[in-house]
Amino acid sequence: MSRIGKQPIAIPAGVTVEIKDTVTIKGSKGTLTFNILPGVKVTEDAGKIVVSIENTEDTQQRAFWGLTRAMLQNMVTGVSEGYSKALEIIGVGYKFDVKGPQKLELSLGFSHKVNVDAPAGITVEADKDEKNRIHLKSHDKQLLGYFAAYIRSLKKPEPYKGKGIRYVGEHVRRKAGKTAGK
């Protein structure tokens, strides 16, 4: 039995759920859809979404059970509250430059500036207090994670001086360098 899968998902006020071959969840932040996987049943009763499977002995269906429940929970949270990630850039001459709600220009020590367009559904905001920090916001947790990882991959933090793009609160393991052995 899946401990995650058997928990019901509470539907907050202002969120509507439509279940057919796909599950469509609409809220104040946007609309998300999820294809129901084979062997999984999704039902709605008394303001809750309940996920179940046909055969509890099938390992594939048990895996889909917890996955489906987690994806639906993320969708409900996303359309009602939304998600955000913060990135910071560290290094002399490195900077973020927000050109619009979906346009970002990065100076990363290359001979050229790197222009990045955010996908639909993601907004980019500069931090009010610190100029080396940006906030990415979206109702789709999966898309937000992919886009934040893409921005981070443009200049990953290096282990000697710690320069590069990192998530806020991320710890980068530092190396001593070649002069430390003497």
**SS3 sequence, 102-165?**
CEEEEECCCCCCEEEECCCCEEEEECCCCCCEEEEEECCHHHHHHHHHHHHHHCCCCCCCCCEE
Write out the two tokens for 166: 């990192």
Whether residue 56 has pLDDT greater than 90:
no
d(CA 127, CA 55): 49
Whether domain 9-80 has CATH 3.90.930.12: the reply is: yes
For the chain, domain boundaries: 9-80, 83-167
Nearest to 83 by CA among 32, 126, 142: 142
Average pLDDT of every residue of the chain: 92
Return the exposure string of 129-151: e unless at least 16 CB atoms fall within 10 Å of the residue's CB, then b.
eeeebbbbbbbbbebbeebbeeb
Q: 9-80 and 83-167: same fold? A: yes
pLDDT at 182: 65
Whether residue 7 has pLDDT greater than 80:
yes
The tens digit of pLDDT for each residue in 82-92 reads: 999 999 999 99
Nearest to 140 by CA among 30, 45, 19: 30
d(CA 39, CA 54): 6
Largest distance between two CA atoms of the chain? 70
Bridge-based pairing state of the strands 31-35 and 40-45: unpaired
The residue among 79 and 178 whose pLDDT is bigger is 79
The tens digit of pLDDT for each residue in 98-147 reads: 999 999 999 999 999 999 999 999 999 999 999 899 999 999 999 999 99
pLDDT at 3: 83
Q: The domain 83-167: what is its CATH number?
A: 3.90.930.12
Whether residue 10 has pLDDT greater than 80:
yes
Confidence (pTM):
0.90
pLDDT at 2: 73
* 178 confidence band (pLDDT: 50, 70, 90): confident
